[in-house]
Structure 1
């Protein structure tokens, strides 16, 4: 190996090291990037209508999610939501959803931010009268996030789920509204 090859090798290694250091410092400067996970509990409201019976039904809900914050304003999330059981007359339906969402956020103060979500969900609804149904629909949401530390945040959110499965003649609606609160942990 001659000195020209050694010099090129040193220049290449030095250049690669500088690029790696620049990348690491840029990543360190943006503390907002990275993976996170969380859980929310809440209440789901569904409008049900079967013959002469029409009412809103509330049930407990649970949402588990994981995501990646791309930068200070955008994140992607995957989640599982148990929207609870709705009952009208003798019939009931239990609804679950698998979600994929895009979140956009803006800081209101140093520790408080407002975010909105737009996503798709695959709904599974099991009916007490027998059978189940599956559909895909979209969901919209808005919420507030309060940062307790660099890793831990509190969230409160309102979410609208659309195009839920229905059972013919049983009166289960195609939409559900969910209000939830929970915690988020960032790695």
Structure 2
């Protein structure tokens, strides 16, 4: 199990959006595992009209995945891994009093590194891809850095 900080470019505002990620899984053997995770990106205000300087719209995104994970040791403390699975993606936009939710499912893939800080604790960093290109909200390409604890 673990927690991370995720970052993705926001397609609507053309800047980076940070969010939190939680994940957990089960190691089948030394190399293979199954993992689930959820990333949620913060609410971001933007201007949808040329009205005064007050934002009149908001967007927020979340991503959920389930994947198989293959880990390969690089050295005593460093491992590389790849994940492949499926994702459920949700983007909510609010413009004045109109709310709209876009949902899609698609392929999920990730490449990452984990560095053992202690026998059960590792620092993880990864690049993730959640399905197809997004037109609004957080982009499908996400980077994460976090901590993982193994039982």
Q: What TM-score, normalized to structure 1?
A: 0.67
1 CA distance for matches of 2:106 and 2:45? 22
1:21-62 deviation per Cα after TM superposition (whole angstroms, max 9, x unaligned): xxxxxxxxxxxxxxxx000103112444xxxxxx73210121
Say yes or no: does 1:155 pair with 2:124. Answer: yes
Q: Aligned-pair distance for 1:87?
A: 5.5
Instruction: Select which of 25, 35, 47 maps to 1:89.
Output: 47
- CA distance 1:57–1:119, change in 2 (3 Å): farther
Identify unmatched segments of 5+ residues in structure 2. Answer: 49-56
Computing the radius of gyration from Cα coordinates, the structure with the larger value is 1
Q: CA RMSD in A?
A: 2.2
Please list, as runs of the form range in 1=range in 2, the aligned pairs for 1:38-187 lying within 5 A after superposition: 38-48=2-12, 56-85=14-43, 89-90=47-48, 91-129=57-95, 130-163=99-132, 171-172=135-136, 175-187=139-151
Aligned length: 140
Q: TM-score, normalised by structure 2?
A: 0.81
Alpha-carbon distance between aligned partners in 1 of 2:137 and 2:7, rounded to the nearest angstrom: 16
CA distance in 1, matches of 2:11, 2:63: 18
Higher helix share: 1
Secondary structure at 1:110 match in 2: coil
